[in-house]
Amino acid sequence: MTPRAAAAAAVTGLLAAAAAVTGLLVAAAVGWALAPGAAPVLRAALPAGRFVLDACGVAAVGLGMLGWLVAGGRRRDADAAQGAASRAAVVLAGGWTATAVLMLWLQAADVAGRPPAELGMGAVVDYVRTFRPAAGLLVTAACAVGYGVIAATTRGRAWPELPTIVALLGLLPGPLTGHAAAEAAHELAVLSITAHAIAVAVWVGGLGALLVVIAGRRALLATALPRFSTIAAAALATVAISGVITAAVRVGSVAALVDTGYGRVVLAKTAALVVLAMLGGLVRRRVLPAVRDHRRAPLVAIAGTELAVMGLALGLAAALASG
């Protein structure tokens, strides 16, 4: 890796870390406000844990996409990017698995109405046997382990689509076993939340992987960014449409958007989506033409800001899912 590429990787890594910290703090703070009846230790821990779990899944999807994004680029650069992504994926898989196990314990404590430190293994086993979200977390943990094994053994060279598929399978149980499963309009709620989760994972994860792994490799970026830009536009439209449907099913009325904590968080997510649409348009107008011509472009500044807003939106989503 050239010094320029190494410096870009360091900067983008810091931006990704800042986005993650932003989302974590937002999830904990908003989750605390939305769940006044929960045990004090769980009011922040559950939404914060949910954010970390979702962020791991989203990052796994993004790293899995890199093989397709860099296909056709210069072989040496593409192999270097894939190698870096595979190493990161192995570490990420370990964190994802551990977070799924931790969330199983925290949710069992929440259902039992006891502090996590006082929860015995029997209560956790009862939770697994009785409640559907527990099964979802076990599926997520299994997919996280499988994702790590695939990343360690194939390094993106065989079945390049497989890591993304496994990551999506690990990401979906959370949304599908949450509030959507209990809504009156069950089928519509499940369909919209599934589309929403997939689109968010592809959009946020792809941008994060692009920034951290590829941003410093100008030649490879000229191949990957145009492809991702097309995906991002489709993902933005899917997130907007599915978000409206999900909010309509769960909120129920326009007045509830202002009168309830859930509704106000939905409005905040909507504002974040508008900002992201504006930033995405800026990337297409100012950054993409320069990148295609192998010229300097303010990608890190604009896309880094976009990633920070995405972290905030993911934090809000985690708080809603835990509230």
- pLDDT of res. 178: 63
Residue range 44-66, pLDDT digits in tens: 899 999 999 999 999 999 999 98
Query: What's phi and psi for 216, nearest 5 deg?
Result: -85, 0
Identity of the amino acid at 104: L
Q: In the numeric block, which tokens belong to residue 10?
A: 């360091």
**Please, are residues 131 and 125 in contact by the beta-carbon 8 Å criterion?**
no
Q: In the numeric block, which tokens belong to residue 245?
A: 């449907």
**Please, are residues 320 and 262 in contact by the beta-carbon 8 Å criterion?**
yes
- Phi/psi region, residue 113 (left: phi>0; alpha: psi -120 to 50; beta: rest), is left
The sign of the dihedral angle between the CA atoms of 65, 71, 73, 76 is positive
Residue range 251-296, pLDDT digits in tens: 777 777 888 777 888 899 899 999 999 998 888 888 888 888 777 7
Question: Among 152-156, 164-168, 315-319, where is mean pLDDT lowest?
Answer: 152-156
What is the average pLDDT across 147-155? 87
| Mean confidence (pLDDT) of the chain | 85
Alpha helices in 70-184 (DSSP H): 75-112, 121-130, 132-154, 162-171, 173-176
Q: What confidence tier does 314 reach under pLDDT thresholds 50, 70, 90?
A: very high
